[in-house]
Amino acid sequence: MKIFITGATSGFGKAIAEKFAKAGAELWISGRRTDRLEEIKSSLLQLGARQVNASEMDVRDKQAVQKVADELKETWGSIDLLVNNAGLALGMGGIDEGNLDDWDTMIDTNVKGLAYVTRAIAPIMRQQKSGHIINIGSTAGKLAYQNGNVYCATKFAVDALTQSTRIDLLPYNIKVTSINPGMAETEFSLVRFKGDMDKAGKVYEGYLPLTAEDIADTVYYCATLPPHVCINDLTITCTQQANSIYKLSN
């Protein structure tokens, strides 16, 4: 299986790459941190990946995205799975006091970046009349919460993009899936609170949250179903969480 994963330098993306590496997949990983990419590339080969290519790429840069997609097509000629994982949350304030730069970064990464990558890779799948696109969404894209405003809006957009992509690519035998995690202990909150470890740690106090490996297992399951089976939409939370608002603490 030939797999392209965005945002593969940490969290879900890294765990997904490791899961498929153990299954002997051919991987193409991308991210913004070159040093991490090289370290992860080496570890993926040790885990059993058949081949690993690594590209420094910011999904917000449409020229860079297209360049990597062209390299992928020239090198591989085909692709089985695209995992649109790159995304982030920044800050947590009311709509009346939000940081405009944070808003731009979230919109450019979570929405436009996902669209750029899909636009660059989908023609390869359309030509081969097969493939699978998995978009990593969020429970925040199912139910908005206080002070989530623009982040929630970007994840609602991911949900809409996934639905419309599934429709657009239906004639070409291409699967499209949205996986929407709830609370998961990764670097997500550390990024959201800009390195404040105390704030990030309090998000998970009293909970047994999901792990990156839980999401990797879910992605692997969806990607290895029989050819005639497509999970369109899947929401996954820890047992103590019902949705983005209702949680049961210890």
Tokens of 76: 């591989």
Q: Does residue 116 have an active-site annotation?
A: no
Bridging pattern class, strands 131-136 and 174-181: parallel
Give me the amino acid identity at 53: N
Q: Active site residue: 116, 145, 151, 204, which one?
A: 151
In angstroms, rounded to a whole number, what is the distance separating the alpha carbons of residues 3 and 121? 11
Q: Which active-site residues does the annotation give?
A: 151
